[in-house]
Amino acid sequence: MKTIRLKNNQINYPIFIGSGLYADIGKLCKQYIDKDRVFIISDSVVSTLYKPEIIRAFKTAKVKCIFISISVNEKKKNINTVINLSNRLFSYNVDRQDTVIAFGGGIIGDIVGLTASIVLRGIKYIQIPTTLLSQVDSSVGGKTGVNNIYGKNLIGSFYQPQAVIIDTDVLNTLPKRELLSGYAEIIKYGIIKDTIFFEWLQKNGKKIIEGDTAARIHAIHKSCMNKSKIVEEDEKEHGIRALLNLGHTFGHAIESLNGFKKSVVHGEAVAIGIILAVRLSCIEGYTNETTFNKIITHFKEIGLPTQLPKKIAKLTAKNFVSEMVKDKKTINKNITLILVKDIGNAFIKKGISQSKLIKLHKEITT
Ligand SMILES: NC(=O)c1ccc[n+]([C@@H]2O[C@H](COP(=O)([O-])OP(=O)(O)OC[C@H]3O[C@@H](n4cnc5c(N)ncnc54)[C@H](O)[C@@H]3O)[C@@H](O)[C@H]2O)c1
Ligand SMILES: [Zn+2]
């Protein structure tokens, strides 16, 4: 098992990464909880697959486990679900010594994290992510959130977990499409700040998708290291943490314009968003065609989408840009984007005019 410690003056928690961790997960969690019971919150798919195994492990550790399974998707990732989940916890007389465990993908993690941050003004929570995306990104760093009618993740909090426990075995049941979605967030770290990791992915990326445990552990470890370093420096996104949003302003607009339907999942929207951000970096002269080609070639080889879905490409540039303006980083309608100078060298560009985005939209849709 590999351990990373995310640590600065305010934050200090471990991220455990390994294979076969569920057998002893009750014992592993015990040191982070204040009493002998936990609430495990999961989605219906993950419950069906892993509930008996997890309950057994907590029983062995003599921890009572209240397992709550909820049905979630991007459309249900909203404040009503948080309220309903809070009420379920109150129905069990939740108190401030209780701990909730987010056991599922990024949607469960974001909902449970937000719920934990507001129930009784904050109770402890542990992340046990079960998708590649949540293992390399959303379970680490304490961003919680839900969507509303104005857009993606607009309601949320920064609230750090007590621990993150990543078992790669769970990825063996994850559909290929979801693995690829997680891969988009992995490659993001390479493009933002880690050229060597990007090159490693060029050679080994396929192994991650095909099920090679060592390759998965390496990629998850590298991703969590990269993310931890950024979060340690800038927890609340006053500066460099924004780099992690590479592709996301475009991506969130795509998800939102698609009505948060499953036909485009988060990582797919981010993959397309990264391509658009690098394309814009080219048009603006920050980077060159060679960099763009290296990135798009790798995306195509691995099987990530690189073009706007037809339905969204048909919308007008104005539609698209007005959706992008809703991003959390927008100030006075000025859009901030993460652009690239090279692979491993992304930067924050503030004040992007809407006309530049309209020009980009024209280039990619005609
Ligand atoms: N908080 C953050 O910092 C952060 C970062 C990135 C993404 N996110 C959020 O994460 C969400 C996407 O997360 P996701 O991609 O994990 O989606 P998800 O939670 O919807 O999971 C994807 C699908 O995989 C299923 N699943 C989960 N684990 C499984 C397993 N082991 N085997 C088989 N099926 C399994 C789920 O039931 C679901 O159908 C988005 O809402 C995004 O906004 C948050
Ligand atoms: Zn993301």
Q: Nearest ligand to the C-alpha of residue 158? A: 1
Q: Please report the pLDDT score of residue 365 as a whole number.
A: 82
Could you tell me which of 136, 139, 138 has the C-alpha nearest to residue 125?
139
If asked whether residues 112 and 20 sit together in one domain, one would say yes
Residues 129 and 208 in one domain: no
Nearest to 109 by CA among 173, 167, 156, 172: 156
Query: What is the 119 CA–ligand 1 centroid distance (Å)?
Result: 23
**Cα(334) to centroid(ligand 1), Å:** 30
Q: What's the total number of domains in the chain?
A: 2
**What is the rounded distance in angstroms from the CA atom of residue 244 to the CA atom of residue 290?**
23
How far apart are the C-alpha atoms of 128 and 33, rounded to whole Å? Answer: 14
Determine the Cα–Cα distance for residues 275 and 69; give it in Å rounded to an integer: 36
Nearest residue by C-alpha to atom 39 in ligand 1? 45
Tell me, yes or no, whether 200 and 342 share the same domain.
yes
CATH number at residue 242: 1.20.1090.10
Distances (CA, A) of 112 to 105, 126, 146, 151: 11, 9, 10, 19
State residue 314's pLDDT score.
87
CA dihedral over 235, 240, 246, 252, signed as positive or negative: positive
- Please provide the DSSP assignment of 28-77 as one string: HHHTT-SSSEEEEEEEHHHHHHHHHHHHHHHHHTT-EEEEEEE---TTT-
**Do residue 181 and residue 168 come from a single domain?**
no
**Same domain, yes or no, for 216 and 340?**
yes
Judge if 234 and 320 occupy the same domain.
yes
One domain, residues 161 and 16: yes
- Same domain for 213 and 308, yes or no, is yes
From the CA of 266, the nearest ligand is 1
Q: What is the pLDDT of residue 326?
A: 83
**Rounded distance between C-alpha atoms, residue 216 and residue 208, angstroms:** 5
Of 173, 204, 232, the residue that ends a domain is 173
Atom of ligand 1 nearest to the CA of 181: 15
Half-sphere exposure of 340 (CA within 13 A, CB side): 31
How do the pLDDT tens digits run along the chain, 366 residues long? 999 999 999 999 999 999 999 999 999 999 999 999 999 999 999 999 999 999 999 999 999 999 999 999 999 999 999 999 999 999 999 999 999 999 999 999 999 999 999 999 999 999 999 999 999 999 999 999 999 998 889 999 999 999 999 999 999 999 999 999 999 999 999 999 999 999 999 999 999 999 999 999 999 999 999 999 999 999 999 999 999 999 999 999 999 999 999 999 999 999 999 999 999 999 999 999 999 999 999 999 999 999 999 888 888 888 888 899 888 778 777 899 999 999 999 999 999 988 899 889 888 887
Q: What pLDDT is attached to residue 231?
A: 98
Q: Assess contact for 27 and 163: CB atoms under 8 A.
A: no
Do 222 and 109 share a structural domain?
no
- What range defines the domain where residue 76 resides? 2-173
Q: How buried is 57 (Cβ within 10 angstroms: 0-12 exposed, 13-18 middle, 19+ buried)?
A: buried
Choose one of 134, 172, 244 to mutate for the ligand 1 pocket test, by most ligand atoms within 8 angstroms of C-beta.
Answer: 134
Pairing of strands 143-148, 151-158: antiparallel
Q: How far is the CA of 305 from the centre of ligand 2 (A)?
A: 15
The reply to whether 256 and 127 lie within a common domain is no
pLDDT at residue 332 in the model: 77
Q: Considering every ligand atom shown, identify the ligand nearest to the alpha carbon of residue 133 and give its number.
A: 1
Predicted pLDDT of residue 325: 86
Which of 266, 274, 304, when mutated, tests ligand 1's pocket best, judged by the most ligand atoms within 8 Å of its CB? 266
Which protein residues touch ligand 1 with a CB less than 6 Å away? 43, 45-46, 49, 74, 77, 104-108, 110, 130-131, 133-134, 137-138, 141, 143, 153, 170, 173-174, 178, 181, 266-267
Structure tokens at 305: 């989408």
Q: What is the pLDDT of residue 301?
A: 98
Q: Are residues 203 and 124 in the same domain?
A: no
Cα of 104 vs centre of ligand 1, distance in Å, is: 7
State the helix-helix crossing angle for 354-365 and 266-283, rounded to 10 degrees: 110
